[in-house]
Structure 1
Amino acid sequence: MIAIVDYGMGNLGSIRNMLKKIGADSIVTADHDLVRAADKIILPGVGSFDAGMDNLHRTGLQPVLRERVIDSGVPILGICLGMQLMTKRSDEGSLPGLGWVDAETVRFSPPVETGLKVPHMGWNVVRGVKESPLLTGAEKEERFYFVHSYYVRCNNDQDVLLVAEYGHPFTAAFACRNIIGVQFHPEKSHKFGMRLLRNFAEAV
């Protein structure tokens, strides 16, 4: 069973629908006992960093997630804001992040001459930089859907899994032990997102 954590900040229905398409058993929940019983966890997220952290505190989910992810090594997939919350901090807010990965979340500041706008929105090609069960069967050129104004900057290059370009290279996904984060939305990325979520459900 995959627990999709409901802390008021994500595309919960879209993620569950995609998991249903690939035959993965999942539940959307904020119940501490159900999160503790899950074989895998997805931490989604749409919105601001401080609101996300505040909601995790308020619902009492932060210590439950730490118990499962850090103490018990349960695989977790953070999506968009969910990925950013796993870092130490964000330019977007003042609250500390979960701090599970040695990384920070920083704002895009593309040079004016590039004409690039913030947020970064739309389809973008990603490039794998290390092997992972999450990328099993991946095509040479994978494309995913992004919507974000901030991106994760890993302090340890070995944690970087996928890289994309928007004015400069940035981390599109990281993988650190049992902790995986993706900046894009696999639930909106058609066959590419379906393959990635299937790999998380079956191979990770």
Structure 2
Amino acid sequence: MMIAIIDYGMGNLRSVGKAFEKVGFDAVVTDKAEIIENADKIVLPGVGAFKDAIDGLQERNLIGPIRSHIKQNKLFLGICLGLHLLFSRSYEDGVHEGLDIISGEVVRFNADRLNVNNENGQKEVFGGLPVVNNQRLKIPHMGWNTIQARKEVPLLKGLPADPYMYFVHSYFVVPDRKDVVATETDYGAAFVSMISIDNIFATQFHPEKSQQYGLAILRNFGEL
């Protein structure tokens, strides 16, 4: 079995590879289309800007191999920016088209929405999202936070309820279809922190940085 970690010029690749090695799976970091096409499983990680990521995939002619891999029902794991790229469009520094494999958008945390208070010390609702008062929340959302399962997902096998994972992001995904939502996380408002549909899995958090529970997710992916 070969796991290919896609190198498209956006960082954090080696740490993902080392994390897979730690849980007993060999993974190759590559920007070669033929290797990605022949891989049993592919991982699309990334830290950085959405447009730069799309440009990096296009320049290396990797969009076709990614689509082909998914259409063949082979397993896919996206991490952070790799989750965002699956969606139809992103509003990060303009409007940019994504891979449109999952219908929906990538939007920024709204500081006003996160930090609004009302006179009675109660929750308020802005844009359909519940907001907890008296929380001076910062953007980016950085550090440890819990994930809450919204459906049964094989990558969460053996994990406790509401495990802590490590996050670093200013944007989050808003899927058109609610049935793709695997976990949510609260940061003043609930946002989607993991999606799962058929052979596709993707996380907003960084499992490679999330210690034992993050490594368990990578192990579960390797064992599928």
1:151 is matched with 172
Q: Distance in 2 between matches of 1:103 and 1:144?
A: 24
1:141: how far off? Answer: 2.5
Larger Rg: 2
Tell me how far apart the structure 1 counterparts of residues 73 and 11 of structure 2 sit (CA, whole Å).
23
Deviations 1:20-69, CA, capped at 9 Å, x for gaps: 01111210000111101110000001000100001111110011111111
Deviation readout 1:112-153 (Å, 9 max, x if unpaired): 443111100000011001011111111123110000000011
Kindly report the root-mean-square deviation, in angstroms, between the aligned alpha carbons of the 2 structures.
1.0
Q: Conserved in 1, the CA contact under 8 Å of 2:86 and 2:99?
A: yes
**How many Å apart are 1:94 and its aligned residue?**
2.5
2:149·2:162 contact (CA, 8 Å) conserved in 1?
Answer: no
CA distance in 2, matches of 1:146, 1:66: 27
What is the aligned residue count?
202
Matches within 5 A, 1:70-109: 71-92=71-92, 93-109=94-110
**Distance in 2 of aligned mates of 1:73 and 1:58:** 25
Measure, in 1, the Cα distance between the counterparts of 2:7 and 2:32: 9
Do the aligned residues in 2 keep the contact of 1:105 with 1:152 (CA within 8 Å)?
yes
TM value normalised by structure 1: 0.96
In 2, are the aligned partners of 1:9 and 1:47 still within 8 Å (CA)? yes
In the aligned structure 2, how far is the partner of 1:150 from the partner of 1:157? Answer: 18
1:105, 1:151 within 8 Å by CA — same for their partners in 2? yes
- Does the CA contact (< 8 Å) of 1:128 and 1:163 recur in 2? yes
Distance 1:23 1:33 in 2: 24
% identity of equivalent residues = 44
Distance 2:209 2:84 in 1: 18
Q: Does 1:55 find its partner at 2:56?
A: yes
Q: Distance in 2 between matches of 1:159 and 1:141?
A: 19
- For 2:98, what is the secondary structure of its paired residue? coil
* Counterpart secondary structure, 2:182: strand
TM-aligned CA deviation for residue 182 of structure 1: 0.2
- 4+ residue segments displaced more than 2 Å: 111-114
Q: Which runs of 5+ in 1 are unaligned?
A: none
Aligned pair 1:202/2:218, yes or no? no
8 Å CA contact 1:101, 1:176 repeated in 2: no
TM-score for both structures, normalised by structure 2: 0.88
2:173, 2:95 → 1: CA distance?
16
- Give me the whole-angstrom Cα distance separating, in 2, the residues matched to 1:177 and 1:81: 20
**Is the 8 Å Cα contact of residues 166 and 207 (structure 2) preserved in structure 1?**
yes
Query: What is the CA distance between 1:111 and its match in structure 2?
Result: 2.9
* SS class of match (2:48): coil
Equivalent runs, 1:14-29 vs 2, <5 Å: 14-29=15-30
